[in-house]
């Protein structure tokens, strides 16, 4: 599961969106879609998905964050397929989204390594920032890991919500309702930290 499973599941240079993922004349744009946690958005460019937006406190605020990617438009079929899978995951389906590729252009190499570790965490499981750092061979870099995850442009697809602070603390989260959104997502996956509320509490 996660990075390294199937064909082209990583973030390496030249990654597009699946095999032959170059969207070519599909151009760029964004689309909104409804999920169990609210209205999300996805943005794409000619090389694939460039961003995923979790719900902000209003739909207008969500749209404002997506405008940098272009205009709202009908997504290509390959992006529509990714949207359907994101909706399914947030409805409780077991799907690690590991073969949905993202365009890594402009993402620092360290961040890509962090995202690869995060992407290998299956639904229902979590790691701490320190554990991610250890898997990178960089013990002591938990803070840098947290900062990289805070810059993650593809939440859900790169599941930064599955990385917690030491001792099961929720840690930071940059989506509209912050830790509340993170806990809701973990609750849907059955991985809410001990003593923390889930979506169903």
pLDDT at position 178 is 80
pLDDT at position 130 is 96
Q: Give CB contacts under 8 A, 24+ apart, made by 87-91.
A: 87/33, 87/34, 87/35, 89/123, 89/156, 89/188, 90/35, 90/36, 90/37, 90/40, 90/156, 90/185, 90/188, 91/35, 91/36, 91/188
pLDDT at position 23 is 54
CA distance 111 to 46: 22
**Would you give the distance in Å from CA 5 to the centre of its chain?**
17
- Sign, CA torsion 180/172/146/44: positive
CA distance 129 to 141: 8
Instruction: Please say whether the beta carbons of 105 and 97 come within 8 A.
Output: no
pLDDT at position 170 is 81
pLDDT at position 195 is 44
Q: Which residue in 160, 164, 185, 191 is the catalytic one?
A: 160
Alpha helices in 67-164 (DSSP H): 77-90, 109-119, 129-135, 142-150
Angle between helices 77-90 and 179-188 (to 10 degrees): 90
Strands 127-128, 163-164: pairing kind: parallel
pLDDT at position 12 is 39
pLDDT at position 27 is 83
pLDDT at position 10 is 44
- 160 an active-site residue? yes
pLDDT values of the chain reduced to their tens digit, one per residue, 201 residues: 332 333 333 443 333 333 335 554 458 999 999 999 999 999 999 888 999 999 998 999 999 999 999 999 999 999 999 999 999 999 999 999 999 989 999 999 999 999 999 999 999 999 999 999 999 999 999 999 999 999 999 999 999 999 999 887 887 776 667 888 999 999 999 997 754 444 333
pLDDT at position 26 is 58
């Amino acid at each position: 599961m996660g990075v390294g499973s199937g064909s082209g599941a990583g973030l390496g240079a030249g990654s597009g969106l699946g095999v032959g993922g170059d969207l070519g004349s599909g151009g760029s744009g964004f689309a909104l879609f409804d999920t169990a946690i609210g209205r999300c958005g996805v943005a794409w460019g000619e090389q694939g998905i460039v961003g995923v937006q979790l719900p902000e406190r209003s739909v207008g605020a969500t749209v404002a964050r997506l405008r940098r990617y272009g205009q709202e438009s009908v997504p290509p079929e390959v992006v529509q397929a990714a949207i359907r899978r994101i909706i399914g995951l947030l409805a409780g389906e077991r799907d690690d989204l590991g073969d949905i590729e993202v365009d890594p252009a402009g993402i620092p190499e360290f961040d890509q390594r962090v995202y690869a570790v995060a992407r290998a965490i299956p639904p229902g499981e979590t790691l701490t920032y320190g554990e991610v750092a250890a898997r990178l061979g960089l013990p002591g870099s938990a803070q840098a890991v947290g900062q990289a995850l805070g810059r993650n442009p593809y939440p859900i697809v790169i599941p930064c919500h599955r990385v917690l602070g030491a001792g099961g603390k929720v840690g930071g989260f940059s989506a509209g309702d912050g830790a509340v959104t993170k806990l809701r997502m973990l609750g849907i996956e059955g991985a809410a930290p001990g003593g923390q509320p889930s979506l169903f509490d």
